[in-house]
Structure formats: C-alpha cells, structure tokens
Structure 1
Amino acid sequence: MIKYVYRELYPVIKNLIVSNSGTDEDAEDIFQDALVIVYKKGKDEELVLSSSFKTFFYSVCKNLWLQRLGKLKDIRQIFVEVEEPVTLPESITKEMYTVEDEKIKLYQKHFLSLGDDCQKVLRLFLRKISLREIAEIMGYKTEKYAKTRKYDCKEELKNRILNDPNYLNLIADD
C-alpha cells in the first residue's frame, strides 16, 4: 500500500509544493508528515473519507504546506488551483482552510494591483531567478537596481496587505 501511495501520489504532491515556492526537501517533509497523519487517523478509526483517497491526501498535504508557508511569514507565490474539487473530511478543520483561502485571496488581490513591472520582478524572484538574470530580463542596467526594485515592490505589496482592513481580521483568526 505504501509503495502505491508513493508511486501514485508523491509526484502530484511534489509538483504542488515545488510549484508553490517549495523545494524537493519540503515536498518530502510534507509527504511524510501527511502519511503520519493519515496513518494515525486510520489507526484511531477517525478516518472517514468523504472524497477519494487521492483528494483527501492532496488536501492534507496542501493544508500542511499552507501552515508551513504561514509560519515562514514570507510573501510567497500564489497557490495553483486544485485540478479537481477538494472535499475536506470533518477531521480537518474547514475554518482553517477558509482562513488560508482568504489570506491567499488577499495576497492575490494586492499582488494583482501592483504594476506589471513589480509583478514580473516578484514572480522572477519567487522562481529563484538571480538578481543578475532579473536585471537582464527586465532590461535594468545593474544588478543593484534589480535588487532595489525587488525590495521596493516587495515593500509595496507588504504595505498594501498590512493596510487592508481585512488583514487584521485574518490574523486575528490565527
């Protein structure tokens, strides 16, 4: 059973994590943590699926990754939408899932309100493109200007989020 889960689900989970600012190591950690959670819930007979196992496992991994991103307190790339609808079992709190979705929507709203130049610089930075390459791609004369521009864009995004009235409500829910 474990071999099947690794073979069928690990590539999907790795893609989720790596596509959303994570590393291969992050994907391995999240996958292992999710296996432990699923095992414990199954062992304690708390595991009642209201969706396919694949959807359930994906949801557990996504929630674990969202929690880890929240703890990092970094501005991260927008989460790619799930290809299939996810139905969360009762054992995973829907409230936490909703709050995380609202945080993502708040980030998306303010990210998309930035100018095209800032959006592109931040996207390149989040893809771990070097400042030298960002300068070349963006047509900046120096790497130092790319660094300054990245910082200014990041600060602008951060300030927009922090000044949004919904932000205080969301952090109060944590």
Structure 2
Amino acid sequence: MQLQQLLEAMIAYMGGDARRIQHFIKVHALAQLLGRQEQLNERTQFILEAAALTHDIGIKNGEAKFGAGKCSGKTQELEGPPAAAELLAKLGFAPDVCERVCYLIGHHHTYINIDGMDYQILVEADFLVNFYEDGMSKEAIQTACGRIFKTASGIRLCRQMFGI
C-alpha cells in the first residue's frame, strides 16, 4: 500500500513531466523484477522499490536552481535526499527505510563502492532504462554492462534486451 501511495505521490510531484514519470515507472518495474529474480528479502525489496520510484526526485529542485536540462547526476544526488526524506516522512515510511532510500538516491550516480543488493539493482535498472532512452550503441551498452552490472539477472536481462 505504501508503494502505491508513493507512486501516486511521485506522479503528482513530477506532474507535467511525462518523460520523467515514464522513466521512474520503468526503472521501478525493472528493479522490482531484478529484485525478485535475485530473491531479495522483503525489507530490501521494499527499500529497492521505494528508491526506484524516487531515484530522480532531485531533478525538479536541481533544474529549479540551475535551469532546465542543467541538473547533473551529482546535483541529483545532492538535491534528491532532502526532497525524498520529506515525501517519505509525509507518507509514513519508517525512519530506517527512509534513511536507506535517501542513501540510495544520494549515490545512484556513483558506481564505485556499491554496498548492497538494493544499490546494485537500482543502478542496473536505471542503466537498462537509460540505455534505451539515450539510444546507446550496442558497443557502449556491452561495455557498460561489463563494467557496472554484477547480478546474474541484470546481466541476463541486459543481454536479452539489447541482443549483446
């Protein structure tokens, strides 16, 4: 029920930005799939899905500060956690869940020292969506998949989706 409320709240929060709403919905669907395939425990799966829905929440504030299209990954990592913490608290998420979700949002463009399956899968799901949305070449996808992806499910899905 909380994830449904979070989805609805994120659609409202990003209202008018259909492209970004479509993006986080796709990242969520792939993160949900990969988490289940990797057999995450219930708590980690819940955190992963909440993070997938909110991972780009910082874009709105970043673009308000720096202009449309001028919100880097680092800016997203800085602007996202405070916005997410406010939204998650408003929806009654437990403090420990909120803390981990905000950590994941604050690191989802950092690809070193990935600590935890929720973090790894969030990164992989975001990459899978970005590969397509950014129109990346098969060669670039293959390179990124080889460097970033660690889960068996993520590697398999990347190969299947992009024919590599």
TM-score (norm 2): 0.36
Higher relative contact order (CA 8 A, sep 6+): 2
The higher radius of gyration belongs to 1
